[in-house]
Amino acid sequence: MYRYDEFDEALVRERAAQFRGQVARRLSGALKEDAFKPLRLMNGVYLQLHAYMLRVAIPYGQLDPAKLRQLAMIADRYDKGYGHFTTRQNIQYNWIRLADMPDVLDALADVEMHAIQTSGNCIRNVTSDHLAGAAADEIEDPRPWCEIIRQWSTLHPEFSFLPRKFKIAVTAAETDRAAVRVHDIGLHIRRNGDGEIGFEVIVGGGQGRTPHVGVTIRDWIAKAELLSYLEAIMRVYNRFGRRDNKYKARIKILVNELGPEAFAEAVDTEYAAQGVHEAVLLPQGEIDRITEYFASPDLPERPARSVTFEAARAADPALDRWARVNLRRHRTPGYTSAYISLKSQGEAPGDMTGDQMRVAADIAEQFGFGDIRVAHEQDLVLPHLAIDDLPEVHRRLRDAGLAASNAGLASDLIACPGLDYCNLSNARSISVGNAIQAVFEDPEFEERVGPLHINISGCINACGHHHVGHIGVLGVDKKGEEYYQITFGGRADEKAAIGDIIGPALKGDDVAPALRRVIAAYLDLRKGPGEKFIDAYTRLGPAPFKEALYAVD
Amino acid sequence: MPLIKGGAPVSCSRRFFADEETPPDPNDAIVSLGRLVAAGGDVFRSVRLMPADDPLALAPHIRRLDLIEIAFPGFRDGRGFSAAQLLRRRLGYTGELRAVGQVLRDQVFFMARSGFDAFLIDDPHAEEIVAAALSEFTVAYQSAADDTRTIWERRWNARPAHTRRDDR
């Protein structure tokens, strides 16, 4: 994975020093909160219900043991012993003192990490496929381009005061695990007719209060042109995006108000007008240098059919289930990718303790070639494990409470921190999430239900991605009471769609029983175990599911 | 209000005239884009752009202009950064480019990289503020409107000569 050189290091150190000065000016009163706000936001510092929150960037979800151990140290020393992994593949700490923030940023810089642009109206952390570099279905590793985009967008002088936040995601696999169609810009690495590799450019996707699926404005653009073309998109947005209303300021509104064709034309005009001296020229040597860091680890030959593993799973139903549910096919025989689910029954989704982080770091170091990813579903992934080593890996995960066997199933739900932490929220997410998880407490039942994404947001800002959950749950406030609106049929993959609002919102206590009825109806109606919930919904439409949702037990 | 240019306080005899005011000497008047364009190409030398103004509308006048102010009525409105880049890099403007309005210390670095060379800052310590803001970062990844050698160039020293600012 990428390693900083002296320039990357200098920038992160200088940024930490700058923020130390800004915090000092704020604490002394020289800087008022109003003027401090945009500065702290661009360093990932939010003022939340109880305390300041720090959001640390994990570019494209890439971690290594040293980084994860440092995140554990920060959790233990500066927070209450845990951190929360987010849908942007980042980590948040909810209880850090403002006066400690500069020390935390220094500690992050020690392991080549930072909190730059994890909030504020700027280009945010670029996200990607958590199976990048391991998946059998990608045409090349998207991470070098994520790193290039990270560098290009870091402290960009022109695009740091945009109308609103800006999110870019990159995938290189036909199965989209990075949700590129619900990002401000989604980049899908593809081949053109000549077999050359470049990017499909998708613009204007997003969630929040007016969800949109992005539209393709370029079927294919060459790698050499990518950054210049991105600058053209950003400039059109910076100049013409709405600034009169915060809720209409995202690029999706501009794309929609102009119309995708007119927007694409505006970008093409700006792009064509760029002089040679305006182009973003990235030397080929630099592309090669960055790409080399992402070379596949040297994977020694291991048995494609592991006798050790087969014997162990035959003897241990828990291992057998974990292997059935949490593993994903690796491109190299004898290897697999494994999810470390952070969605145990009754826990806050995405939370992980410092001790658990150290266990995961040790496993990755000993068995996983030092590679750890954060998935946007708020789980961790060990992308390269030998199948032969799985019994030992599973034993260690289980001992640390990290072996929940639910990756991609119903209880692996996405949820924002909700009203328990967030000052934007209308309703709690964690407790309703836990109640839904309890519906699927019986693992056999959960496996029988099959792949199902349930996404929960505590408010319309949609941090819990409810619009693109197969089942979405949105917290709303009705005269001081917490209610939840249910959507069906959303999806974040290559067939991205926004879920349909089904009917009136439900009371918090009624959500889990209602979804239990919906699942029962689905099991009744599906053509067979092969028809997923989302496919049955697409085939049958909302009526039977709506009836089950509002039926009386 | 201190005006900082080239790292030091400077004085400026020009001032902004609203459209309904009549300036005694057009050479000393900074005017709106609308007024400049309406007056034709050879009346005024100084203009003030508001965030919604199209900087490319200055193309026919650019050679005569030697002072362009870009207004930041609020620090959250970043359109002025794009305007500056367009003036410097698209139109090749070489005169003074001055940031006025809410010019925050922590934006000065971005402004300088976007092509501003003068800052009107409502603070008695403006000179120190600009000096401090411009010394915080010694590295930058992207090419912009200033002459900073980017990290990518410093790593590779491979950028063609015609892209260097002093060769334009």
Q: Tell me, yes or no, whether A192 and A279 share the same domain.
A: yes
**Position A331 in a domain:** yes
For A51-76, the pLDDT digits (tens) are 789 999 999 999 999 999 999 999 99
Instruction: Give the nearest chain A residue to B52 (CA atoms).
Output: A239
Q: Tell me, yes or no, whether A270 and A139 share the same domain.
A: yes
Residues from chain B contacting residue A30 (CB–CB below 8 Å): none
* Interchain contact A318–B (C-beta under 8 A): no
pLDDT class of A553 with cuts at 50, 70, 90: low
Residues of A numbered 220-249 whose beta carbons fall under 8 angstroms of chain B's beta carbons: which are they? 235, 238-239, 243
Tell me: pLDDT of A368 over 80: yes
Residues from chain B contacting residue A282 (CB–CB below 8 Å): 152
**Position A299 in a domain:** no
Structure-token match 């067979």, residue found: A528
Beta-carbon separation of B114 and A157 below 8 A: yes
Q: Tell me, yes or no, whether B7 and B54 share the same domain.
A: yes
* Interchain contact B125–A (C-beta under 8 A): no
Q: Tell me, yes or no, whether B143 and B64 share the same domain.
A: no
Q: Tell me, yes or no, whether A395 and A418 share the same domain.
A: no
Instruction: Give the nearest chain A residue to B168 (CA atoms).
Output: A277
Among B85, B89, B142, beta carbon nearest to A152: B142
pLDDT class of B168 with cuts at 50, 70, 90: very low
Rounded CA separation A533/A368 (Å): 33
- Work out the average pLDDT over A391-399: 98
Q: Tell me, yes or no, whether A378 and A497 share the same domain.
A: no
Q: How many domains does chain B have?
A: 2
Q: Tell me, yes or no, whether B112 and B149 share the same domain.
A: no
Q: Tell me, yes or no, whether B151 and B73 share the same domain.
A: no
The β-bridge partners of B5 are B8, B118
| Mean pLDDT rounded to a whole number for chain A | 95
Q: What is the SS3 string spanning A363-416?
A: HHHHHCCCCEEECCCCCEEEEEEEHHHHHHHHHHHHHCCCCCCCCCCCCCCEEC
Strand extents, DSSP E, B73-168: 96-101, 118-120
Candidates A112, A181, A186, A182; CA nearest to A142 is A186
* Interchain contact B91–A (C-beta under 8 A): no
Among A39, A160, A239, beta carbon nearest to B110: A160
Rounded CA separation B14/B30 (Å): 7
Strand extents, DSSP E, A274-379: 327-329, 335-340, 351-353, 372-374
For B123-144, the pLDDT digits (tens) are 999 999 999 999 999 999 999 9
> What are the two backbone dihedrals, phi and then psi, of residue A255, each rounded to the nearest 5 degrees?
-60, -40
Helices (H), A136-283: 143-153, 226-240, 251-258, 260-273
Residues from chain B contacting residue A43 (CB–CB below 8 Å): none
What pLDDT score does B42 carry? 85
CA-based nearest distance B65→chain A, Å: 21
**Position A407 in a domain:** no
* Interchain contact B1–A (C-beta under 8 A): no
DSSP A224-267: GGHHHHHHHHHHHHHHHS--S-GGG-SHHHHHHHH-HHHHHHHH
CATH number of B101's domain: 3.20.20.70
Beta-carbon separation of A38 and B75 below 8 A: yes
Q: Tell me, yes or no, whether A496 and A446 share the same domain.
A: yes
Tell me: pLDDT of A417 over 90: no
For A170-193, the pLDDT digits (tens) are 999 999 999 999 999 999 999 999
Sign of CA dihedral A176, A177, A183, A187: negative
Tell me: pLDDT of A420 over 90: no
Q: Tell me, yes or no, whether B78 and B158 share the same domain.
A: no
Q: Tell me, yes or no, whether A285 and A138 share the same domain.
A: yes
Q: Which of A278, A280, A286 to mutate to test the interface with B (most CBs of B within 10 A)?
A: A278
For A218-270, the pLDDT digits (tens) are 999 999 999 999 999 999 999 999 999 999 999 999 999 999 999 999 999 99
Candidates A148, A154, A186, A149; CA nearest to A293 is A148
Q: Tell me, yes or no, whether A334 and A273 share the same domain.
A: no
**Position A121 in a domain:** no
Beta-carbon separation of A157 and B81 below 8 A: yes
**Position A26 in a domain:** yes
Q: Tell me, yes or no, whether B37 and B120 share the same domain.
A: yes
What pLDDT score does A239 carry? 98
* Interchain contact A151–B (C-beta under 8 A): yes
Residues from chain B contacting residue A22 (CB–CB below 8 Å): 106
* Interchain contact A281–B (C-beta under 8 A): yes
Among B111, B139, B152, beta carbon nearest to A10: B139
Specify whether the backbone of A385 is left (phi greater than 0), alpha (psi in -120 to 50) or beta.
beta
pLDDT class of A159 with cuts at 50, 70, 90: very high
Residues of A numbered 63-122 whose beta carbons fall under 8 angstroms of chain B's beta carbons: which are they? 121
Strands A481-488 and A471-478: antiparallel
Rounded CA separation A427/A443 (Å): 28
* Interchain contact B137–A (C-beta under 8 A): yes
- Taking a C-beta distance cutoff of 8 angstroms, is the pair B65, B58 a contact? yes
For A321-331, the pLDDT digits (tens) are 999 999 999 99
Structure-token match 């050189």, residue found: A5
Q: Tell me, yes or no, whether B44 and B75 share the same domain.
A: yes
Beta-carbon separation of B139 and A276 below 8 A: no
Q: Which residues contact A231 (CB under 8 A, 6 or more apart)?
A: A158, A274, A278, A280
Q: Tell me, yes or no, whether B32 and B106 share the same domain.
A: yes
Q: Tell me, yes or no, whether B128 and B72 share the same domain.
A: yes
For B22-65, the pLDDT digits (tens) are 999 999 999 999 999 999 878 999 999 999 999 999 999 999 99
Interface size between A and B, measured as CB pairs under 8 A: 118
**Position A128 in a domain:** no
Beta-carbon separation of A281 and B144 below 8 A: no
* Interchain contact B52–A (C-beta under 8 A): no
Q: Tell me, yes or no, whether A463 and A535 share the same domain.
A: yes
Q: How many CB atoms lie within 10 A of CB B54?
A: 12
In chain B, the percentage of residues whose pLDDT exceeds 70 is: 93
Q: How many domains does chain A have?
A: 4
* Interchain contact A162–B (C-beta under 8 A): yes
Q: How many CB atoms lie within 10 A of CB A452?
A: 21
Residues comprising chain B, all counted: 168
For A296-344, the pLDDT digits (tens) are 999 999 999 999 999 999 999 999 999 999 999 999 999 999 999 999 9
CATH number of A356's domain: 3.90.480.20
Tell me: pLDDT of B165 over 80: no
Q: Tell me, yes or no, whether A28 and A144 share the same domain.
A: no
Give the residue with greater pLDDT, B163 vs A199: A199
Q: Tell me, yes or no, whether A93 and A206 share the same domain.
A: no
Beta-carbon separation of B139 and A285 below 8 A: no
* Interchain contact B57–A (C-beta under 8 A): no
pTM for this structure?
0.95
pLDDT class of A465 with cuts at 50, 70, 90: very high
Residues from chain B contacting residue A157 (CB–CB below 8 Å): 81, 109-111, 113-114, 140, 142, 144
Q: How many CB atoms lie within 10 A of CB A288?
A: 10
CATH number of A221's domain: 3.30.413.10
What Rg value do the Cα atoms of chain A yield, rounded? 23
Domain limits for position A166: 134-292
Beta-carbon separation of A162 and B78 below 8 A: yes
Domain limits for position B42: 3-137
Instruction: Give the nearest chain B residue to A10 (CA atoms).
Output: B139
Q: Tell me, yes or no, whether B122 and B162 share the same domain.
A: no
Rounded CA separation A256/A297 (Å): 43
